[in-house]
Amino acid sequence: MYSYYGLSALGPHMQKYLWWKKHLTKLQLIQFVCMLIIMGKNITCDDPNFPQFLNYIGVFYCITILSLFLNFYIQSYIFQKNKAKKIAQQSKPSDTHLANGTNHKRNDVVHRFSANGTLKAEENGNHKESNGVQSNKKHPHSE
Q: Are 42 and 55 in contact (CB under 8 A)?
A: yes
pLDDT in tens, 11-59: 888 888 888 889 999 999 999 999 999 998 988 888 888 888 998 999 9
pLDDT in tens, 90-118: 776 554 444 445 544 555 555 555 555 55
Spell out the domain ranges in the chain.
Answer: 2-91, 95-135
Threshold 0.85, pTM exceeds: no
What confidence score (pLDDT) does residue 35 get? 93
pLDDT at 61 over 80: yes
